């Protein structure tokens, strides 16, 4: 029997990530090839004409799974009955800025849109915040939408996770799908900690730890980490625009795995509300390794954390605590 359509909200849909993301959703890349969708696209008044242009293109592309398009600048109409909300709306950083430099512009958007989602989205709506500073925007959304369960509000660190796998695959000259179980701990910022201590690679001789396969701890503990931490800045430098196709694709990966489940024996990284696991304070949206089943994520427990990792995991948690204070000062 044909499935009922799911309503998927994309905010900032006239922007560059939005333009890459909406056709992926309409093609079934986010929710599967048998899941019809109705796209809700929100942007602000100055982008209304461009947004309508995106709607025209969606119609012209004749996507079999796309059962309807709502293109609006009205946040209430945009949020009405949505099952999935991908929050991309906001301002991107420019060359030379840190992601938290866009804080004052973006957190107020998340405070305002929290209430609309809380009041008008479908019960159990799953929320993914992409706009930067992603963890702190997600936290503000959570705090100003207290009736949405904390477990339903997440932020995107899957792009960093995919970048880490990409760097290992380039180094080992293996396909990226042969690398698994890297972890991004913490903030989607330059303090994030890409950790390969539990990652493996599959070669013709079977599965082995990434550390053993790379056989260069110095590279793994220095250049690999900074390359992943600074990849967003490197893309901005090269394109004069921040990442878009990789961000859109990773957002699809995030929602797909959350809704449809992670493959057996594999975890992914998601920014989620900390329950105190690994000594990370509650009250922060922090990226952890998670597995997903039946539409629910759970933090992978019991991984061994060495001294090097501990220091890096704590440093990125401290930055998130500082961002939280800064966010509240911007809202006051």
Residues near ligand LMR, by CB under 6 A: 92-93, 99, 132, 159, 232-233, 235, 242-243
The answer to the question of whether 131 is labelled as a binding residue is yes
Cite the beta strand spans of the chain per DSSP E. Answer: 6-11, 37-42, 66-72, 84-87, 126-129, 153-155, 179-180, 183-185, 193-195, 200-203, 206-209, 268-273, 285-293, 296-299
Binding site for ligand NAD (CB under 6 A): 11-12, 14-18, 42-44, 47, 88-93, 109, 130-132, 134, 156, 159, 188, 242-244, 247
Cα separation of 128 and 270, whole Å?
10
Q: Tokens 């998340």 belong to which residue? A: 110
Beta bridge partners of 197: none
Q: Are 193 and 185 spatial neighbours (Cβ–Cβ below 8 Å)?
A: yes
CB of 219 to ligand LMR, least distance (A): 22
Residue whose Cβ sits closest to ligand LMR: 232
The answer to the question of whether 7 is labelled as a binding residue is no
The answer to whether residue 40 is catalytic is no
Q: Which is nearer to ligand NAD, 190 or 202 (CB)?
A: 190
Pairing of strands 200-203, 285-293: unpaired
CB of 231 to ligand LMR, least distance (A): 6
Catalytic residue among 120, 161, 175, 188: 188
Cis check: omega of the bond before 133, within 30 degrees of 0? yes
CB of 166 to ligand NAD, least distance (A): 14
CB of 243 to ligand NAD, least distance (A): 5
Quote the tokens at residue 75. Answer: 């946040």
Helix (H, G, I), strand (E, B) or coil at 285: strand
Report the binding-site residues for NAD(+): 12-18, 43, 106, 130-132
Report the binding-site residues: 12-18, 43, 93, 99, 106, 130-132, 163
Report the binding-site residues for substrate: 93, 99, 132, 163
Residue numbers annotated as active site: 188
């Amino acid at each position: 029997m044909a499935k009922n359509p799911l309503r998927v909200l994309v905010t900032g849909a006239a922007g560059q990530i939005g333009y890459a993301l909406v056709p992926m959703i309409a093609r079934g890349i986010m929710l599967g090839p048998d899941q019809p969708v109705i796209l809700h696209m929100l942007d602000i008044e100055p982008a209304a004409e461009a947004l309508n242009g995106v709607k025209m293109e969606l119609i012209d592309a004749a996507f079999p799974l796309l059962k309807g398009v709502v293109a609006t600048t009205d946040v209430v109409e945009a949020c009405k009955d949505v099952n999935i909300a991908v929050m991309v709306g906001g301002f991107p950083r420019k060359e030379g800025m840190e992601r938290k430099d866009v804080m004052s512009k973006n957190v107020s958007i998340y405070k305002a849109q929290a209430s609309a989602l809380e009041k008008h989205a479908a019960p159990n709506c799953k929320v993914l915040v992409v706009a930067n500073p992603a963890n702190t925007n997600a936290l503000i959304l959570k705090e100003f939408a207290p009736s949405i369960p904390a477990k339903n509000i997440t932020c995107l660190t899957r792009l960093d996770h995919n970048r880490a796998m990409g760097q290992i695959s380039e180094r080992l000259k293996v396909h990226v799908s042969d690398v698994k179980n890297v972890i991004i701990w913490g903030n989607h910022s330059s303090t994030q900690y890409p950790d390969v201590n539990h990652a493996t690679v599959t070669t013709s001789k079977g599965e082995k730890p990434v550390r053993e396969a790379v056989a260069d701890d110095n590279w793994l503990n220095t250049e690999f980490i900074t390359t992943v931490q600074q990849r967003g800045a490197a893309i901005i430098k090269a394109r004069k625009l921040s990442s878009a196709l990789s961000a859109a694709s990773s957002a699809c990966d995030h929602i797909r795995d959350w809704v449809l489940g992670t493959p057996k024996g594999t975890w992914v990284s998601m920014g989620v509300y900390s329950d105190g696991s690994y000594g990370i304070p509650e009250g922060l949206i922090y990226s952890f390794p998670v597995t997903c089943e039946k539409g629910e994520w759970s933090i992978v427990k019991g991984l061994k954390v060495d001294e090097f990792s501990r220091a890096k995991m704590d440093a990125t948690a401290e930055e998130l605590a500082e961002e939280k204070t800064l966010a509240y000062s911007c809202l006051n």
